[in-house]
Amino acid sequence: MKMHFCIPVSQQRPDALGGRYVLYSVYLDGFLFCRVRYSQLHRWNEQLRRVFGNCLPPFPPKYYLAMTTAMADERRDQLEQYLQNVTVNPNVLRSDVFIEFLKLVQLNTFNITAEKASLYVFLPDGRGIEVEILTSDTAERVLEVVSYKLGLHRELLGYFGLFLIRDYKEGKLSVVKKLMDFELPYVSLQSCDVENCKVGLRKWYLDPALDSMLMDCRAAVDLLYIQAVQDTEKEWARPTQAQRQELEALRKEDNRTKFLELYQQVQHYGCLQLDPCTCNYPEPGCEAVISVGNNEISCCITLPDNQTQDIVFQMNRVKCWQVTFLGTLLDMDGPQRTLNQNLELRFQYSEDSYWRWFVIYTKQAFLLSSCLKKMISEKMVKLAAENPEMQIEVPEQGKNKKYHIRQSQKDYSSFLSRKSKTNRAEDGCGSGTIKEEDL
């Protein structure tokens, strides 16, 4: 599945010989990931092609004459599409050529030297695990180190992930973003302009049934338990009064396995809750609290008369979605390093035999999109296990502007190209600077 790479802006810079070059600001999940030149990406593409051949997406050609504004915009669009498409291949993602280049550009962009450092990774109960790392260590490597310290079985690492998390003084919790395996946690933390941000360890799956895969590992059970306790304290999960009493009794007995078995029945268990946001239903501007997980998008909406309404969208009735950046970027050399202002996520949903768009305005739109992708991925894996003959069809690169996964006649669409952002009137899309649609 494609990642949320985008290149909203580029800048011309003077070089040492008196000429000028273009520097591209690459964002991942709404945060500045790196700044690179075309020549750097071109060399990287050639290195990848020596390993993977023609299975890579097309790379924008060189221009030997001065570029017009239209040509420069087209190249920026093509580079953006290249970064999105090259990450679809899991073999590319795991390759040294891919990872080493991205490590280097992250370090260089934020002027951080590769050296030894200490990093605290926080657990849901507030404990900080100090690990000795290199500033150039990836999230995958840091997760391995933390898991070893906790005694978490290596084969269970895929069920957990590292996140940037923000703690508020009033006790609220906000998940800022999920760190990709190739991101550098030390660099991400140092470069993040979100206040009171820290690196946290949380489970990274949204199907509560997957808990059963972890029950034989004491460290995994402990992590699930303390996250469940935190979810209750932060009111992300909503046990009934009777469930609270039974759960409290199991806590006093320190019976964590039984606690987790009962917790499976708690409303919103295993869901990730977004910060308060607004939506367009039943009318524009309604405040909403969104919880995503367990194959659904759950919305608690405050109506104009201050009454609340709970609405649940089942993922099997979601056709597609897209993330749109509605604002503009200013002062790219200054402190602004996120796209997290003026973001929306809209999804197309089947209701009473009609397709309609539901729009959520949230600074966590990219995180929400990642959660939707995760739920679909988990569903597909589950269906494939139940029916080994099921086929997942993905059209070849370049045959279509959109990606499709076909299963049971349902189409889930992925990224829109930048050019198509104002040409999809049939989808009811508004104009914007960046528009993405993703699994």
pTM value? 0.86
- Rounded CA gap, 278 and 95, in Å? 40
- Rounded CA gap, 340 and 329, in Å? 11
pLDDT at position 64 is 73
Tokens matching residue 160: 């957990």
The one-letter amino acid at 45: N
pLDDT at position 397 is 30
- Rounded CA gap, 383 and 378, in Å? 9
What are the DSSP calls for 380-438, one per residue? HHHHHHH-TT-----PPTTS-SS-EEEETTEEEE-PPPGGGGGS-GGGTPPP-SEEEE-
End-to-end CA distance of the chain: 7
- Rounded CA gap, 325 and 341, in Å? 8
- Rounded CA gap, 356 and 424, in Å? 14
Tokens matching residue 151: 């005694």
Cα dist from 295 to 33, 190, 206, 283, 341, whole Å:
30, 34, 8, 25, 27
Let me know if 129 is exposed, middle or buried by CB neighbors in 10 A (0-12, 13-18, 19+): middle
- Rounded CA gap, 43 and 198, in Å? 34
pLDDT at position 221 is 97
Spatial contact of 392 and 404, defined as CB atoms under 8 Å apart: no
- Rounded CA gap, 168 and 173, in Å? 6
250-303 tens-digit pLDDT: 999 999 999 999 999 999 999 999 999 999 988 899 999 999 999 999 999 999
Q: Which residues of 327-352 are buried (b: 16+ CB within 10 A; e: fewer)?
A: eebeeeeeeebbbbeebbbbbbbeee
CA angle at 18 for the pair 13 and 22, rounded to the nearest 5°: 25
Spatial contact of 162 and 182, defined as CB atoms under 8 Å apart: no
Q: Which residues pair with 371 in a beta bridge?
A: none
Spatial contact of 221 and 282, defined as CB atoms under 8 Å apart: no
What are the DSSP calls for 137-173, one per residue? --HHHHHHHHHHHHT--GGGGGGEEEEEEEE-TTS-E
- Rounded CA gap, 69 and 328, in Å? 18
Q: Which residues of 57-90 are buried (b: 16+ CB within 10 A; e: fewer)?
A: bebbeeeeeeeeeeeeeebbebbbbbbbbbbbbe
pLDDT at position 390 is 61
309 — phi, psi (to 5°)?
Answer: -135, 130
Q: Which residues contact 148 (CB under 8 A, 6 or more apart)?
A: none
Q: Which residues of the chain have pLDDT under 70?
A: 327-341, 389-439
Let me know if 307 is exposed, middle or buried by CB neighbors in 10 A (0-12, 13-18, 19+): exposed
pLDDT at position 421 is 34
